[in-house]
A and B are shown apart, each in its own frame.
Chain A
Amino acid sequence: MTTVEAFQAAFDAAVAADERIEPRDWMPEAYRASLVRQMAQHAHSEIIGMQPEANWITRAPSLRRKAILMAKVQDEAGHGLYLYSAAETLGTSREELLDKLHTGRQKYSSIFNYPTLTWADVGAIGWLVDGAAITNQVPLCRCSYGPYARAMVRICKEESFHQRQGYELLLTLSKGTPAQHEMAQDAVNRWWWPSLMMFGPPDDASAHSAQSMAWKIKRHSNDELRRRFVDICVPQAESLGLTLPDPDLRWNEELGRYDFGPIDWSEFQQVLKGNGPCNEQRLDRRRRAHEEGAWVREAAAAYATKHGARPGRPGEHPPEGRPAGRTHRERPEKPAEETGTRAEETGTHVEAAV
C-alpha cells in the first residue's frame, strides 16, 4: 500500500467506526472541500439571516419582544462566528470566505431572500425557518467532522430557544385580535413553502447528497428530513389555530405520516439563481457593511501594529486586555423568561421530534 492508500484506509475506517475526524487528521481533499463549502454556506446563512429579522428590531411592538429579537439577532452573529472558526480549522480563513460570499461564489440559504413584511414574519421565521434549520442541524451534531459537530451542539441549543420564541410569538398573535390573527395566518401562508425548500432539492436531484452521506457529513436525505419536518409542523399548526397553505396535506394512515402537495421547484431554482425577491438587496447590504467598515478594520490593525498587540481581529482581543471573565458573549440582562423556557406552555417539542 502506498502512503496515501494507507491514509485513505485509516480515514475510511474512522468514518465507518463513527469516530470523529479532527483538523490534524489526514482527510481526502474532496471531503475537505465539501466541508468547507457546507460550513461556509452555513455561516453565511447565519450572517445574511440577520437581515430579515433585524428589519423589525426598530419596530418591535413591545419592549419584551424587542429584547428577545435583539438577543436572537445577536445569537446569529455568534453562530456565524463559531462556524467561520470551525471552517478555519480546514485551512481557509474568514476573510476568504466572506470574500466568496460578497462576490457570489458561495451561497447562503435561499430562505433569506424572502422579505419580512409584517411583525408576524418574525414569528413565522422562528417557528418554521428555525424549525427547519433545527431538523436539518440536529443530525449534524453527529457529523463526522469534529469541529463542525461540536459547533452544531452549541448552535442547536440556541436555535431551539429561538424556535420556541417564534412559536410563542405566533400563538400570541393567533389568539389576539382578529387583525393579529390574520397577520399570523398571512405570515405562515408566505413562509410555509419556502421553509420546505430549505431541505434542498428532492433526493433524485441532489448533487452532493450521496457522497455527503457516505462520509457521514449528512445522516439523512433531503426528502427524509423534509417529511419529518412536515410531520412535526402539522400538529403544531393545529395547536396554533393556524392553517398550512396546502390543500393536498393529509394524514396517510398506511405510511403513518403526512402527504403533502408538490413543491414549486422552479421558484426554488429562480431564488437560487439570484432572482428571488431580496437576493440583490441582501447581498448589497452585506457588501456595504463590509466596505463601509473597512476603515474601522484598518484602524484596528494599524493600532495593533503600533502597540505591539498580538495580531487579531478588531474587537476580538482588546489591546490592553479586557477584565477577566467578561466577554462579548455574556448577556447579564437576558432573563430566563426570554430564553425560551416558555416551551412547556406552548407545547412545542422540537428535540423530541428530531
Chain B
Amino acid sequence: MTAPWHSAALALGDDALVLSHRLGEWAGRAPVLEEEVALANIALDLLGQARILLSLVGDEDELAYLRDERSFRNLHLVEQPGGDFAHTIARQLYFSTYQRFLYERLASSDSEFTALAAKAVKEVAYHQDHAEHWTLRLGDGTAESHERMRRACEALWTFTAEMFQPVEGLDAVDFPALEERWLDSVASVLERATLTVPDGPRSRAWTAGAGRQGLHTEPFGRMLAEMQHLHRSHPGASW
C-alpha cells in the first residue's frame, strides 16, 4: 500500500536524481575551472536531495538502479541530454526557479516534506542564483552567447508546463499560483538578460504531464542504461 505522498517523493526524488546525473556528465568538460566546481556542487546538492526523497519511499539504490524507464516519474525537462553550456544554464534556470518556489511552499506547510524542503531551499536558492547570473552573462554577453542562450531558452520552453501539473500527494501546493510566480520570475531574468520570453507552446499534447506518468523522451532510456549497467550486472552485490 503506497501513500499518496510516496508518489510525490518519487516524483521530486527522480527529478533531483536525473538532473544530478545530467550535471555529472559535465565533470572534466566545463568551460572554466570554477564551473567544474560549481556544477559538481549543484549536482551533489541534488543527489543529496534525491537520496533523502527516495529513502522516504524505500531503498534508494533499488529505486535508482532497478526501475525501468516506465517507472521513473521525473520531468522531461531534467532528462534532456547534453547540449551546450547555454542549454545547461537554461535548464537550470527553469528548474531551480521551480524547485525554489515549490520548496519554499513545502517548507512552510506541514507535510512529510517540511524538514527536507527547509534544508533544500537554501541549496536551491544558490542554484537559482548561479543560473540567473549565467543567464545574464550569456544573454547580455557577446552576440554569439546571446544567440546560444536564446536558442537554449526556446528549445527547452516546451518542457516547462509539465512542472505545474498537479502531483499526487502535493495537495498543499497551489500549482497555478506557483506557475504564475515562476513565469514572472523567469520573464524578469530573461528581460534583464536582454532576452525575450519564448513564444512557443509550453507543452505539447503528447508531453503534458507525461514524465510524471512514466512516459519519457527517447534519450532517457539510454541514460538509464549507462547509469544502471554496473549495478544490474552484479545482482545482490554490495558496493
Report which residue of A50, A61, A332 has the largest number of chain B beta carbons within 10 angstroms of its beta carbon: A61
Chain A, 73-106, CB within 8 A of any chain B CB = 73-74, 77-78, 80-81, 84
Name the B residues within 8 Å of A331 (CB-CB).
Answer: 41, 44-45
Q: Is the CB of B40 within 8 A of A61?
A: no
CB within 8 Å for A63 and B50 given contacts A299-B141, A302-B141, A303-B136: yes
Q: Is the CB of A61 within 8 A of B33?
A: no
Q: Is the CB of A323 within 8 A of B129?
A: yes
- Minimum CB–CB distance from A249 to chain B (whole Å) comes to 29
Chain B, 136-177, CB within 8 A of any chain A CB = 136-138, 140-142, 144-145, 148
Q: Is the CB of A315 within 8 A of B45?
A: no
Select which of B17, B123, B230 is within 8 A of A332 by beta carbon.
B123
Name the A residues within 8 Å of B123 (CB-CB).
Answer: 332-333
Q: Is the CB of B145 within 8 A of A58?
A: no
Q: Is the CB of B226 within 8 A of A59?
A: yes
Q: Is the CB of B37 within 8 A of A77?
A: yes
Question: Which one, A173-181, A185-193, A217-225, is touching chain B?
Answer: A173-181
A141 CA to B122 CA, complexed, in Å: 36
A24 contacts the other chain (CB 8 A): no
CB within 8 Å for A78 and B24 given contacts A62-B239, A314-B137: no
Binary CB contact string for chain A from 275 to 313 against chain B (1 if under 8 A, 0 otherwise)? 000000000011011101111111111110011000001
A319 CA to B140 CA, complexed, in Å: 12
CB within 8 Å for A295 and B142 given contacts A50-B28, A63-B51: yes
A329 contacts the other chain (CB 8 A): yes
Question: Which one, A2-10, A64-72, A156-164, A208-216, is touching chain B?
Answer: A64-72
Nearest chain B residue, comparing its CB with the CB of A299: B141
Name the B residues within 8 Å of A57 (CB-CB).
Answer: 24-25, 27
- Minimum CB–CB distance from B74 to chain A (whole Å) comes to 15
Name the B residues within 8 Å of A318 (CB-CB).
Answer: 129, 133
A119 CA to B29 CA, complexed, in Å: 21
Name the A residues within 8 Å of B65 (CB-CB).
Answer: 61-62
The prevalent SS among residues of B at the interface is helix
A296 CA to B45 CA, complexed, in Å: 24
Name the B residues within 8 Å of A285 (CB-CB).
Answer: 28-29
B38 contacts the other chain (CB 8 A): yes
Select which of A63, A180, A288 is within 8 A of B60 by beta carbon.
A63
B64 contacts the other chain (CB 8 A): yes
Q: Is the CB of A74 within 8 A of B36?
A: yes
CB within 8 Å for A329 and B37 given contacts A58-B24, A74-B44, A298-B145: yes
How many residues on A have C-beta within 8 angstroms of the other chain's C-beta atoms? 67
Name the B residues within 8 Å of A303 (CB-CB).
Answer: 136-137, 140-141
Q: Is the CB of B24 within 8 A of A70?
A: yes
CB within 8 Å for A300 and B137 given contacts A59-B226, A62-B231: yes
Q: Is the CB of A322 within 8 A of B129?
A: yes
- Minimum CB–CB distance from B221 to chain A (whole Å) comes to 14
Q: Is the CB of A172 within 8 A of B31?
A: no
Name the A residues within 8 Å of B239 (CB-CB).
Answer: 61-62, 64-65, 119, 172-173, 176
Name the B residues within 8 Å of A61 (CB-CB).
Answer: 65, 230-231, 234, 237, 239
Q: Is the CB of B85 within 8 A of A333?
A: no
Select which of B24, B34, B64, B142 is within 8 A of A299 by beta carbon.
B142
Chain B, 13-70, CB within 8 A of any chain A CB = 17, 21, 24-25, 27-38, 40-41, 43-45, 47-51, 54, 60-61, 64-65
Name the A residues within 8 Å of B181 (CB-CB).
Answer: none
Name the B residues within 8 Å of A60 (CB-CB).
Answer: 230
Nearest chain B residue, comparing its CB with the CB of A290: B31
Q: Is the CB of A80 within 8 A of B47?
A: no
- Minimum CB–CB distance from B237 to chain A (whole Å) comes to 5
CB within 8 Å for A328 and B37 given contacts A63-B50, A298-B145: yes
- Minimum CB–CB distance from A349 to chain B (whole Å) comes to 24
CB within 8 Å for A50 and B27 given contacts A66-B47, A67-B51: yes
Select which of B24, B31, B238 is within 8 A of A293 by beta carbon.
B31
Chain B, 201-232, CB within 8 A of any chain A CB = 226-227, 229-231
The 5 A-B pairs of least Cβ separation, nearest first, read A293-B31, A299-B141, A333-B48, A315-B34, A299-B145
Contact sample, A vs B, 14 pairs, CB 8 Å cutoff: A63-B60, A70-B44, A81-B37, A119-B239, A297-B31, A298-B142, A300-B137, A302-B145, A319-B133, A320-B136, A322-B129, A332-B45, A333-B45, A333-B123
User: Which B residues contact A (CB, under 8 angstroms)?
Assistant: 17, 21, 24-25, 27-38, 40-41, 43-45, 47-51, 54, 60-61, 64-65, 84-85, 119, 122-123, 125-126, 129, 133, 136-138, 140-142, 144-145, 148, 226-227, 229-231, 234, 236-239
